[in-house]
Structure 1
């Protein structure tokens, strides 16, 4: 297993203590002097480096674990596996849909779009820059997504993206072939995991999410793990849950 740390929320550099990985791990940190220009160009520069590290690890037979402060790094994880000759589907744990577009978003938040980009939305924005090929919608499984904006709900009502609850996720729910296991930790109930940027109540427990992730891992088909630590920078971890989650997800 290769641990790749990307200490950013989008193009914002995060304090190192925000991503509390176990100290014994051999970690490759990816940082860049990002260029000027728009967010897509800046992310394209960063994700080119991330995808290179993912591809390097995958070519050695390792399972890359990419830990970052947002979900968009998943684009680089997918691109890196593809560069290594792996054609994965994706299992996307998230309290949100992440299937907004520039045309539908009310906030303009780029971090609400990565799953939609992975299944083919506007490749000229960033996919072409980092060598990401889109995957078919039915090779993506969206897990939980209890907080959807109306345009996201409209899209998902007719899209071939698969849907599952956390408790219902089984090997039979998953697409065939190799997989990326993507975990936005805000899928966990916001009453249990403090300090989230986009908290959503009424979700599963941390233990329920970890159990579902293990069921995916137990298929033996996970080619990479992508962990998004989507909490506010500089926040405390009074219960130690953040550190425990990262320890469990990097122990496999």
Structure 2
């Protein structure tokens, strides 16, 4: 297993030490001198090499784990799998829906849109640049998503995106074929994982999330893993919670 390390929150370069990567795995670090321009151009420039690294790993028989500071890097992960000839569905663990659009968002935060982009929203923003083909909605399983904005709830009520709780997840709910296992670690209850950028109370335990992720991994169908380390940079982790989570999810 190879770690593809993308130390960014969107187009903001983050300190490497904010990501306590486990020892014992080869690491490919992706950093870029990002061009001037809007956020989509900058992210496209960053995710093109992410896609190449993912494709290279898959073509050599490896299962890459992409570690970054947000969820949008999943666009590069999925594009890389497609470049390698892998037509994957996705299992998306997140406290949020990540199905906002530019037309519905009140914050303008593009990190709240990647799942919607994966299923075909406005490909001219970034998908066309990455060669990313849209994923059929029914090949996406959204796990938890306990904090939805009204436009997200309205979209999910009529879309074919499937949903379930962390503890309810079993193999029968998974999309068919190869899978991307995407985990935004803010799916874990905010009381157990401090200093998150967008904490949401009332979530599952870390143990419950790890057990559910293991059920997905145990199918043998996971082609790539995405880990979104969505905590603020520069915050201490005296109990080693972050390091323990990354170690458990990169085995």
Coarse TM-score class (shorter-chain normalised): over 0.9
Residues in 1 aligned to 2:36 and 2:181: alpha-carbon distance in whole angstroms? 32
Question: For residue 83 of structure 2, what is the aligned residue in structure 1?
Answer: 83
Please give the secondary structure, in 1, of the residue aligned with 2:35. coil
TM-score computed with the length of structure 2 as normaliser: 0.99
Mapping for residues 1-252 of structure 1, pairs under 5 Å: 1-251=1-251
CA deviation digits over 1:8-40, x for unaligned, max 9?
000000001111001332100000000000000
Please give the secondary structure, in 2, of the residue aligned with 1:248. helix
CA deviation digits over 1:156-180, x for unaligned, max 9?
0000000000000000000100000
Q: Which consecutive residues of structure 2, in runs of 5 or more, have no partner in the other structure?
A: none
Residues in 1 aligned to 2:235 and 2:102: alpha-carbon distance in whole angstroms? 30
Residues in 2 aligned to 1:184 and 1:94: alpha-carbon distance in whole angstroms? 5
Residues in 2 aligned to 1:3 and 1:16: alpha-carbon distance in whole angstroms? 13
* Count of residues in Structure 1 that have an aligned counterpart in Structure 2: 251
CA deviation digits over 1:179-228, x for unaligned, max 9?
00000000000000000000000000000000000000011000000000
Residues in 1 aligned to 2:143 and 2:81: alpha-carbon distance in whole angstroms? 22
Deviation at 1:61, TM superposition (A): 1.1
Residues in 2 aligned to 1:15 and 1:185: alpha-carbon distance in whole angstroms? 18
Residues in 2 aligned to 1:112 and 1:180: alpha-carbon distance in whole angstroms? 18
Please give the secondary structure, in 2, of the residue aligned with 1:141. strand
Residues in 2 aligned to 1:197 and 1:8: alpha-carbon distance in whole angstroms? 14
CA deviation digits over 1:41-65, x for unaligned, max 9?
0000000010000000000111010
TM-score computed with the length of structure 1 as normaliser: 0.99
Q: Is contact 2:8-2:68 (8 Å) kept?
A: yes
Residues in 2 aligned to 1:36 and 1:23: alpha-carbon distance in whole angstroms? 35
Q: Which consecutive residues of structure 1, in runs of 5 or more, have no partner in the other structure?
A: none
Residues in 2 aligned to 1:30 and 1:238: alpha-carbon distance in whole angstroms? 27
CA deviation digits over 1:129-178, x for unaligned, max 9?
11111110000000000000000000000000000000000000001000
Residues in 2 aligned to 1:174 and 1:122: alpha-carbon distance in whole angstroms? 26
